[in-house]
Structure 1
Amino acid sequence: MFSSGIGGGGFMTVRIPSKAQDASSEVYALDFRETGPAAANATMYVGQPMKARIEGDFIERKNLSRTLEIIANEGPEAFYKGPIADSIIAKVQAEGGILTHEDLLSYKPKVEKALVGTYRDKKVYTSHAPTSGPVLLHMLNLMERFDLVGEGRTPLNTHRMVEAQKFGFAARTKICDPAFLNSTAQITQLPTKEYAEAVFANLTDDTTHPPEYYRPEYDVPFDHGTSHTSIIDKDGMAVSVTSTINLVFGSQVLDPNTGIILNDEMDDFSIPGTPNGFGLPPSPCTPPLALQANAPLSSTAPTIIENKDGSLYLVLGGAGGSRIFPAIFQVILNLEWESARAHCRGRDNGIMDVSQAVEVGRLHNQLYPDVVDVDRPYGYDLLQGLRDRGHVVKSVVEAVGVKGGMLFAASDSRKNGVAAGY
């Protein structure tokens, strides 16, 4: 309840299998990300100090079930106009907010064909910008150029994986919401093999580099808490959905009449004239300008992967702010490594593949700060290999895989999640 809900937004990737045996599935990306109110402006938070919050308050949401029942019976229009909308607007404005009825009425979710790429013999479907789906494909394109299965999880390949993250985070600073500015060309280029080839020339095996080497252009604020669910049904329909109200309990404003906790997604916009602690200027993509369609960037990347023959392979996504797309990236690589190792040991039954790929320790370097965070015990030789190459080393994903007609689900214990089957 504290990370997501109908007071927030998110992204969804949906696979609809074809009824014809030889036809391809249809995969769609749904964008229901929050957008800035029409009255938002670039300096609305300048000089506005944050308010301290008090812990220990008891929260009771008596009316949320009634709100959900109304929406279920009357459809989405019941949320955007009528008593529910009236109550939300009244509460926001009573707290000093600028949301209006026109903002709710003009909001439209976006539905389009999913962003598609390939990784080796797999087809990867993910979400478009303003998510980090294009960045995920870029990092996979970089790692595709290495023989990870043949070479295994070596210190060198671990270094390459971290370097791909650093190039990915640098590339992320250059993209915008496609509805804002003229960023279509950059966004279209980012997930291509050609772009990865140009970047690959700068990936060095013997050493890492300071952040400026990777050519980040702007400071991009990172989003925060999320919830993710990966689902596969008996017919092969798959859904990967990530939703959020941003920080814990969102804006910490609860509308008592509807029981809805309201998001604080405006926190994901930049404040103009305020460089970050590393001197990068705020991104021109993310100031809260008076553009109702402008959505802040997101670290989410709900993803669905198919085998070469079009059958379903993996449905995954994650929660955890800026760690989301690097975690998805590593789970895909981990699954490749673990499957190869199981095959070599004569245990190619897939039973442990997904859970091992999710639970194994992960490395995270988001360029700023230039530190490799290790969240769980990791091989000493692998970490020492990073240190030898100049890395500074310090010490959540949901997935469902398909193999041999069986489903194997894993929920990341880092987020106290569970895997449920039917």
Structure 2
Amino acid sequence: MRNFEKPTRSVAVSRHAMAATSHPSATLTALQIMEAGGNAMDAAIAACAVQCVVEPGSTGIGGDCFALYAPNGSDKVIAYNGSGRTPAALTADWFNQRGLTEVPRQSPAAVTIPGAIDAWTRLHADHGHLPFADVLAPAIQFAEEGYAIAPRVHRDWALEQELLAADATAARIFLPGGRAPKIGEVHRQPELADTLKRIAAEGRGAFYEGPVAEDMVSYLNSLGGLHTMEDFASARGEYVTPVTTDFRGYTIHECPPNGQGIIALLILNILSRFEAKGDPQSPDRLHIEIEATRLAYAARDAWLADPDKSDVPVDELLSDALADRLAAMIDLRQALVDLPSFDMPRHRDTVYISVVDRDRNAVSFINSIFDSFGSGLVAPRSGIILHNRGQSFSLKPGHPNRIGPSKRPLHTIIPGMVTRNGRVEMPFGVMGGYYQALGHAHAISKVLDYGMDLQEAIDLPRVMPTSHGTAVEAEHTIDGSTKAELERRGFTFSPAEDPLGGAQAIRIDWENGTLTGASEARKDGIALGF
């Protein structure tokens, strides 16, 4: 039960339908779409399109998309992988010839072929209800007529002024007057409005062929990129079979690799070996969660890659034997020292959307341009921000995630879904780059192990192990005595540079016929229903 004397928010509750996003305009759009006769898939795509306009640092049509969909309240979860591939001509030798040991962020080499629009159009064609033009209409209106800048949007925007200033089109569109727009100022994106109108009228081909694709390809080529029109025309996402694990009597569904959802399941498998008791933020519990994450992420960075190009050991990652072995390594007296070396890509900007409609169609939807404003490269005529997802690749010879032609990188964005007893229980997700797998496990454990409501679980202070030994980033709200005890055990803490992650979730109460939703207080958004 929420403590009403604390300055937090209540969960949202409703009977018929609900949406939870990280921006109020997106949440309102999703509800309006459903009130107009659209279903949860229509609403999720419409909300995401709006966020591609009003949260340009967080997401965009020049990025990637993953989705989980539970139709009509069933536990038959459908998964879609909308991640893009590298250009067919790009090889590791391209980097070797230039003496590069990592993929530069603001370079064409970081830009894989965007998969979002392919995902939206395919998911809408197969599962939507309203005309696609109606679904994109709110985003077009925001881009054309303008939108007011929200507080978190401004904060993240202002931090990327140097990046945006380095690209002529990015500076012109996103630094009006030479600076990031302030809170409450109105910003417009007319080029993006025109591009969205084309997509609304012509569908997928308007993005991957013709003038819009030519704009992206020619701009990337002018910077030395190897992208071709054929790379764009042949881009396709795919339906995939979710990976699952059972946790405390519930089934947790994630998209399979190349995404890191399987690592969230591995963390949950490790946590299931420990009894959940006492304070969910106690030193012992945080110790277990930190170590489970360090161990699971070591496995992630050793094994996860594009399964079309590498052998990803899915069965081993989900096996009881691996969970048993890793759980046995956790010693509550002291932090583990001997872990495999692993480097974690740092990126934080994504939007995650939960929607449930009257028919209990449930959508878990995530869309990303990787870093804030992606690569910082903007196609000049179409106004599309190009993501930098290629930075997720390794350049190490022999690594399964080594960059190569027509290859998808290890992907951090992961929608989640919970089912039980033949029904969907909860679409959920966490934003925040490599934090996401930990965030999924942390949120699920707090709800299912400790009986917390969704908003309470999301509001809890967060920690995140880094790639440096026993180093852990912590939000300033972590209890000082808890931190001191963990430091005594060998962990070293530093303040988190940014708020850690963001989350949304909606839980279905089948007995009462109601919905409960929560949205991240670290962002601008809300959960609302009717």
TM tier relative to shorter chain: 0.7 to 0.9
User: Residues 155 and 249 of structure 1: is their aligned pair in 2 closer, same or farther, counting only changes over 3 Å?
Assistant: closer
Find the aligned partners of 2:278 and 2:431 in 1 and give their Cα distance. Answer: 31
1:201 to 319, 325, 328: 328
Quick check: 2:243–2:254 contact (8 Å CA) kept in 1?
yes
Amino acid at match of 2:94: M
1:101 to 229, 246, 268: 229
Q: Give how far 1:109 is off.
A: 0.2
Q: Give how far 1:190 is off.
A: 0.4
2:403 maps to which residue? 288
Q: Which moved more, 1:374-383 or 1:103-112?
A: 374-383
2:340 maps to which residue? 215
The residue correspondences of 1:281-320 to structure 2 (distance < 5 A) are 284-290=399-405, 292=406, 294-307=407-420, 309-320=421-432
The residue correspondences of 1:74-113 to structure 2 (distance < 5 A) are 74-113=202-241
Quick check: 1:221–1:269 contact (8 Å CA) kept in 2?
no
The residue correspondences of 1:143-222 to structure 2 (distance < 5 A) are 143-149=271-277, 153-184=281-312, 186-210=313-337, 213-216=338-341, 219=343, 221-222=345-346
Is 2:69 the counterpart of 1:14? yes
5+ residue gaps, structure 1, are 19-23, 273-281, 341-352
Is 2:526 the counterpart of 1:413? no
Equivalent position SS for 1:378: coil
Quick check: 1:221–1:270 contact (8 Å CA) kept in 2?
no
Q: Give how far 1:337 is off.
A: 5.0
Find the aligned partners of 2:447 and 2:58 in 1 and give their Cα distance. Answer: 28
Is 2:427 the counterpart of 1:375? no
Q: Give how far 1:86 is off.
A: 2.0
User: Residues 157 and 302 of structure 1: is their aligned pair in 2 closer, same or farther, counting only changes over 3 Å?
Assistant: same
1:384 to 481, 484, 488: 484
Quick check: 1:222–1:268 contact (8 Å CA) kept in 2?
no
Q: Give how far 1:381 is off.
A: 4.1
Q: Give how far 1:142 is off.
A: 0.7
Equivalent position SS for 1:414: coil
Q: Give how far 1:105 is off.
A: 1.8
Find the aligned partners of 1:168 and 1:181 in 2 and give their Cα distance. Answer: 22
Q: Give how far 1:148 is off.
A: 0.4
**Percent identity (aligned):** 25
Equivalent position SS for 1:14: strand
Find the aligned partners of 1:420 and 1:69 in 2 and give their Cα distance. Answer: 28
The residue correspondences of 1:54-65 to structure 2 (distance < 5 A) are 55=165, 57-59=171-173, 61-65=189-193
Q: Give how far 1:181 is off.
A: 4.2
Find the aligned partners of 1:225 and 1:175 in 2 and give their Cα distance. Answer: 24
Q: Which structure ranks higher in relative contact order (CA pairs < 8 Å, sequence separation ≥ 6)?
A: 2
Q: Give how far 1:27 is off.
A: 0.7
CA distances 1:249-306 after superposition (whole Å, capped 9, x unpaired) = 222222232221112222222234xxxxxxxxx771233222x1x1111222210012
User: Residues 300 and 229 of structure 1: is their aligned pair in 2 closer, same or farther, counting only changes over 3 Å?
Assistant: same
Is 2:255 the counterpart of 1:140? no
Find the aligned partners of 1:337 and 1:72 in 2 and give their Cα distance. Answer: 44
Q: What TM-score results when the alignment is normalised by the length of structure 2?
A: 0.68
Q: What TM-score results when the alignment is normalised by the length of structure 1?
A: 0.84
Alignment RMSD (CA, Å): 2.5
1:362 to 462, 466, 480: 462
Find the aligned partners of 1:317 and 1:30 in 2 and give their Cα distance. Answer: 15
CA distances 1:85-119 after superposition (whole Å, capped 9, x unpaired) = 22222222123221101111221101022112111
5+ residue gaps, structure 2, are 1-55, 107-161, 174-187, 496-501
Q: Give how far 1:367 is off.
A: 4.0
2:112 maps to which residue? none
User: Residues 183 and 405 of structure 1: is their aligned pair in 2 closer, same or farther, counting only changes over 3 Å?
Assistant: same
2:57 maps to which residue? 2
Find the aligned partners of 2:438 and 2:344 in 1 and give their Cα distance. Answer: 16
